[in-house]
């Protein structure tokens, strides 16, 4: 048959192209080897969108956990009721879900604000560890082992924040070494102080826009599992295909094992103002009638990139089962996929400032 193509802007350069299609059935399996994180946000209206993007790692906001300590830093009371309602729903949808706990630095801030204890006070360490131990015990009630817990120590630390991030990671590992510690990072510096931060954590998570092959391989060379994350910038809105669709391509090529999107509309921010901050760049938005959601180009790009990842995974599974005598065809397919990675990522050079 034939298809007609033309410019989306003004219909110019209209032409017909002859095509011949052969349709093959191919199962697109859920992505199992990547942590796809839902970060913050108002989940109820966006649930279907999150599931469409394969979210399998859900947030636990530790600021939702109400806890009291005595004067010596001993835990007196802790209440997980609010987060447990969310956990119950999430495990019903994704039984093997992982959980990303935000707020390591927040715990320290709460302890200082409520009790006046600085991070150098022994009572802070004692209370922090008690908080983490209680979280582990709470999750065991859901049959969620510590290996499925990821705890963020610090959000986008600067050099002056590294010592606290390192300290928190060591406290967490002292309570339960199977917990993975993580932090989000706006760059990938290579100085000794930054290296110390990397080595103290299990999952360094640089921003998508600062990732390039050399820096990613440097972090992997330190023996680390990597995530990338998405944070607000106008270029993400203006170039959603380059930024969102190709993020899974980049992760697959470089062997990055997790990604997350911050942009879920958060009702807790106190009212939506169009094009102001993160709320102006959400994946999806609540419909005006509170029924359903309004999707964005960013969501469409991310969904397409997720499906691309599943297709690439399926193709590699097929090639791994190549029958005898079909090796030349398999070699051609592998060469095609390698070329596809290179051509796709050329659309979106991972250089600081490109998106913005």
Contact present, 169 and 153 (Cβ < 8 Å): yes
pLDDT class of 135 with cuts at 50, 70, 90 = very high
Q: What is the pLDDT of residue 232?
A: 61
Taking the C-alpha atoms of residue 300 and residue 296, their distance in angstroms, rounded to an integer, is: 6
* Structure confidence at residue 106 as a pLDDT band (50, 70, 90): confident
Higher pLDDT, 329 or 305: 305
Both tokens of 121, joined, read 């006070």
Residue 305 exposure: Cα atoms within 13 Å on the Cβ side: 24
Tokens found for residue 144:
């969620």
Q: Return d(Cα 127, Cα 313) in angstroms, integer.
A: 44
What span, in angstroms and rounded, lies between the C-alpha atoms of 8 and 276?
28
- Of 125, 92, 91, give the one whose Cα is nearest residue 111: 125
Rounded to 10 degrees, what is the CA torsion of 334, 339, 341, 346? 180
Q: What's the confidence (pLDDT) of residue 315? A: 85
**What pLDDT shows up at residue 356?**
44
Q: Is the pLDDT of residue 78 over 80?
A: yes
Reported as half-sphere exposure (CB side, CA atoms, 13 A), residue 242 has a value of 16
What is the chain's mean pLDDT, rounded?
86
Full 3-state SS string of 50-74: HHHCCCCEEEEEHHHCEEEECCCCC
Decide if pLDDT at 250 tops 70.
Answer: yes
Cα angle vertex 345, ends 343, 349, to 5°? 125
Q: Where are the beta strands (DSSP E) in the chain?
A: 2-5, 15-18, 35-38, 57-61, 66-69, 75-79, 98-102, 149-155, 180-185, 203-206, 228-230, 258-261, 284-286, 293-295
Does the pLDDT of residue 82 top 50, yes or no?
A: yes
Distance CA 160, CA 177 (A): 26
Q: What is the pTM of this model?
A: 0.85
């Amino acid at each position: 048959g034939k298809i007609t193509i033309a410019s989306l802007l003004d219909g110019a350069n209209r032409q017909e192209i002859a095509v011949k299609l052969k349709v093959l059935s191919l199962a697109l399996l859920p992505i199992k080897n990547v942590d796809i994180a839902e970060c913050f946000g108002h989940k109820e209206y966006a649930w279907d969108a999150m599931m469409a993007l394969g979210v399998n790692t859900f947030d636990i906001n530790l600021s939702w956990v109400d806890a009291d300590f005595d004067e010596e830093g001993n835990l007196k009371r802790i209440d997980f009721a609010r987060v447990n309602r969310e956990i119950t729903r999430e495990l019903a949808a994704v039984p093997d879900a992982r959980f990303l706990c935000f707020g390591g630095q927040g715990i320290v801030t709460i302890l200082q604000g409520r009790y006046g204890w600085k991070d150098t006070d022994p009572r802070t360490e004692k209370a922090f560890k008690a908080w983490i131990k209680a979280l582990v015990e709470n999750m065991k009630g859901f049959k969620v082992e510590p290996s499925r817990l990821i705890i963020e120590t610090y959000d986008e630390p600067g050099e002056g924040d590294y010592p606290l991030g390192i300290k928190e990671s060591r406290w967490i590992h002292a309570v339960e070494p199977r917990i993975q510690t993580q932090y989000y990072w706006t760059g990938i510096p290579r100085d000794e102080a930054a290296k110390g931060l990397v080595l103290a954590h299990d999952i360094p998570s640089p921003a998508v826009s600062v990732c390039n092959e050399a820096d990613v391989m440097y972090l992997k060379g330190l023996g680390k599992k990597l995530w990338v994350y998405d944070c607000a910038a106008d270029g993400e809105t203006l170039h959603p295909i380059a930024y969102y669709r190709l993020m899974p391509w980049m992760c697959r090529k470089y062997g990055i094992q997790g990604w997350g999107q911050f942009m879920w509309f958060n009702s807790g921010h106190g009212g939506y103002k169009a094009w102001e901050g993160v709320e102006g760049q959400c994946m999806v938005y609540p419909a005006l009638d509170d029924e359903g959601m309004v999707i964005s180009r960013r969501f469409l790009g991310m969904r397409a990139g997720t499906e691309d990842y599943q297709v690439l995974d399926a193709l590699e599974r097929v090639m791994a089962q190549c029958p005898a005598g079909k090796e030349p065809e398999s070699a051609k397919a592998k060469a095609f996929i390698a070329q596809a990675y290179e051509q796709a990522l050329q659309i979106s050079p991972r250089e600081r400032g490109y998106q913005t």
